[in-house]
């Protein structure tokens, strides 16, 4: 059985030490004794260290929303994986649509970051997703296949099952509504097929595929009831700890039989 996942990213919405620590403490409180679900938070990078301190001893793992593709060296302004490991991070978000579109991150950089994260023993949360709604299944599969295979590149195939693939259709990020749940399930099935065809059946069965893009307490049930959806990646609609709690409980109820 694949362990269900609930992740949350604060992007750069909550950027002061006081507010960020208060928020993650509230999350840790509502996530108590929910250890059947894997939970991680990506605080705003500038407050990662104090947020990490606030999460110490809690059941919520944490990580960075981005890392440098290089371990260390002359890379001004980057955040090294060495620092986040030192803080106790376990997850790294890689290739979010905003990084690709606003900061021109390429698939080659995404590949280097994925490889480095796996080599260091952390869990990459690798974001993939088509730009626009694609009714045609084979076109959708082709776009995602290119993203997945280029991002994995020469990664040691035995590590691929450890990746969490975050399917985030770009057209559903930052909207009032998430993508239609049937479309999400169909796409997760396609993603599993891509992994199976390129690697092994066991890898495809082991890999967790989570959905992100306007997930809320009101739409999570519909999305999570599908078999190939292993969890959700929350943005804005999880900032309120009460909403986060409801999302987490729904995932647990549906996935833990």
For binding to ligand PGA (CB under 6 A), which residues are involved?
A: 9, 168, 173-174, 212-215, 233, 235-237
> Smallest distance, Å, CB 87 to ligand PGA?
22
Nearer to ligand PGA, 237 or 244 (CB): 237
Q: How far is the CB of 121 from ligand PGA (least distance, A)?
A: 24
Q: How many residues does this entry show for the chain? A: 257
The residues assigned a catalytic role are 96, 168
The SS3 assignment for 62 reads strand
| Nearest CB to ligand PGA, comparing residues 199 and 233 | 233
Residue with smaller CB distance to ligand PGA, 51 or 204: 51
The answer to whether residues 24 and 56 touch, using CB atoms and an 8 Å cutoff, is no
> Distance (Å, rounded) from C-alpha 238 to C-alpha 137?
30
To ligand PGA, the closest distance from the beta carbon of 99 in angstroms equals: 10
Give DSSP secondary structure letters for 136-201. -HHHHHHHHHHHHHHHHTT--GGGGGGPEEEE--GGGTTSSSPPPHHHHHHHHHHHHHHHHHHS-H
Distances in whole angstroms, Cα of residue 201 to Cα of each of 68, 162, 230 = 32, 14, 17
Compute the least distance from the CB of residue 9 to ligand PGA, in Å: 5
Would you say 75 or 133 has its CB closer to ligand PGA?
133
Question: What are the two backbone dihedrals, phi and then psi, of residue 150, each rounded to the nearest 5 degrees?
Answer: -70, -40
């Amino acid at each position: 059985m694949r362990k269900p996942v609930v992740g949350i990213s604060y992007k750069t919405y909550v950027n002061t030490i006081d507010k960020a620590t208060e928020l993650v403490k509230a999350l840790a409180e509502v996530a108590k004794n929910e250890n059947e679900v894997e939970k991680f938070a990506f605080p705003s990078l500038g407050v990662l260290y104090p947020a990490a301190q606030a999460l110490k001893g809690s059941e919520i793992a944490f990580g960075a929303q981005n890392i440098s593709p290089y371990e260390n060296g002359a890379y001004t302004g980057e955040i090294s994986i060495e620092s986040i490991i030192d803080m106790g991070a376990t997850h790294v978000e890689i290739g979010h649509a905003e990084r690709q579109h606003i900061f021109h991150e390429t698939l080659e950089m995404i590949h280097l970051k994925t490889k480095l994260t796996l080599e260091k023993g952390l869990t990459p949360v690798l974001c993939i997703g088509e730009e626009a709604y694609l009714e045609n299944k084979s076109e959708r599969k082709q776009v995602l296949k290119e993203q997945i295979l280029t991002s994995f590149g020469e990664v040691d195939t035995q590590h691929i099952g450890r990746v969490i693939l975050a399917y985030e259709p770009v057209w559903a990020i930052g909207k009032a509504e998430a993508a239609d749940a049937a479309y999400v399930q169909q796409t997760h099935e396609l993603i599993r097929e891509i992994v199976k065809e390129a690697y092994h059946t066991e890898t495809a069965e082991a890999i967790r595929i989570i959905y992100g893009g306007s997930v809320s307490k009101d739409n999570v049930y519909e999305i999570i009831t599908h078999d190939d959806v292993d969890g959700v990646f929350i943005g804005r609609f999880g900032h309120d700890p009460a909403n986060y709690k409801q999302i987490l409980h729904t995932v647990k109820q549906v996935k833990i039989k």
